[in-house]
Amino acid sequence: MRAKIEILFPHGKPVLGMLHLGGATPEERLARALAETRDMIAGGVDALVVENYFGDPDDVRRVLEAFERNAPGIVVGLNLLRDFRLGFELVDEFGLSFLQIDSVCGHLPPDEDADYAAELAERRAATDALLFGGVRFKYQPVKSGRSEEEDVRLGMARADALVVTGEATGQGTDNGKILRFRAVVGTDYPLIVGAGMTAATAADQMRIADGAIVGSYFKDSYKDTGIVDVAHVRELMEEVRKVRGAPPATIRIEPIDAAAFAPFGKVLAMEGSADPDENIVRTDGPGWSDAYTHDPLLATNASLGMTRSGGTPFEVRQMERHPNTQEALFCAEGPIVLVVAAAGPQVRPDAGNLRAFSIPPGTVAVMHPGTWHDACRGLHGPTTYYWMARVRTGTEWQDVEGGPVSVVAEPVA
């Protein structure tokens, strides 16, 4: 699926500038759209989205006819609000590269959704344009009766890329929501941030997403009612260019085992197969069984701690290390996710060296002194876990070099 959008935008992580078609008269709306087109191209955007946000379908047609007479030399797409059928007709009439539809899934009750999906599939099959579809999109109702994950998966089948937004135009899209969508779609399906991106959030969000649609931030007032300011365009594009071509900033969670975890510490299997180090003693009796370590768990006296944390997916922005103590981690109610980087002379952990491991109940991970790590998270949602370490021996938190890093579970087929 990613190949289609990569053909359209071979350099990756495109920014699509939104033409809101503001103005008091049809003539003013056309003139402003053409002026904003020039400014957004000068500022470095990769594509334009013509949208009847303030104008009407006739204003859209006038802009597209102007582009037909004098091609802007850039990828052009369309978002025709409130009339997806006319949207398909216009992208074919004017040979546009893509059509954005604010909601391809989730906004209709089941009895209406089936007919909508069938018509969408038929029209999509008849066009060469790509379809960028919203799921749980701003201003759209949620009537499907399905979970967010179910709607996202259906949306993937109905579009060539998904667009994720916050609650309103100009309002930031929460990184947690972007991460939830990324966890479902995986890394091979395009995900576009559709609202609220700024120069301050562009780098972080573009490390997670594959592109962005930007409108309000480009305006002189930073509001949809303003006029495009080329300086704002250049400011955001400069941040995006820093991310393009960077190493992937998403890591997948892998099951923990002794060999994979060896650079970071040791693994004790309190349940199941015999411990390879023969350090686990197992006993049982009527109605019970237990296991304990033959040797002390840590090399020094240690305190017992408990941590409550959120779930997966999540971002790692900072990590800590304890140069003077080991730390043991274990859970009871459900598997936890531990992100680590090997101990060494580096002042900060490097994003390219991070690994994420899932630790099931009955397994203990004991980290070497100095191993970089973040707080654990629940694999399936918020959780509680336990740790043992010698406290008050020195702890330092540092920013992840090249971060933040998104941690996602392998999508379920």
DSSP assignment of 368-381, as one string? PTT-EE---EESSS
Coil, strand or helix at 110: helix
Residue 413 predicted with pLDDT over 50: no
User: CATH 3.20.20.70 region(s) of the chain?
Assistant: 2-245
User: Residue 412: which pLDDT band, with cuts at 50, 70 and 90?
Assistant: very low
Residues 2-245, CATH architecture:
Alpha-Beta Barrel (3.20)
What pLDDT does 173 receive?
A: 94
- Cβ-in-10-Å burial (0-12, 13-18, 19+) of 212 comes to buried
What stretch(es) of the chain map to CATH 2.60.120.480? 251-408
Name the 3-class secondary structure at 206: helix
Q: Is the pLDDT of residue 345 over 60?
A: yes
405 or 162, higher pLDDT: 162
List pLDDT tens digits, range 33-64.
999 999 999 999 999 999 999 999 999 999 99
Do residues 96 and 90 lie in contact, with contact meaning Cβ atoms separated by under 8 Å?
yes
Predicted confidence (pLDDT) at residue 395 exceeds the cutoff of 80: no
| Pairing status of strand 377-378 against strand 288-293 | unpaired
Q: Contact at 8 Å (CB) between 212 and 197?
A: yes
Cis peptide before 404 (omega within 30 of 0): yes
Q: Is 121 helix (H, G, I), strand (E, B) or coil?
A: helix
230 CB-near residues (< 8 Å, 6+ apart)? 39, 40, 42, 43
> 55-96, pLDDT tens digit by residue?
999 999 999 999 999 999 999 999 999 999 999 999 999 999
CATH topology of domain 251-408: Jelly Rolls (2.60.120)
What pLDDT, in 10s, does the model give residues 252-289?
Answer: 899 999 989 999 999 998 886 555 556 788 888 999 98
Identify whether 313 is preceded by a cis peptide bond (ω within 30 of 0): yes
CA distance 214 to 108: 27
| Burial of residue 134, with CB atoms counted within 10 A of its CB: 0-12 exposed, 13-18 middle, 19 or more buried | buried
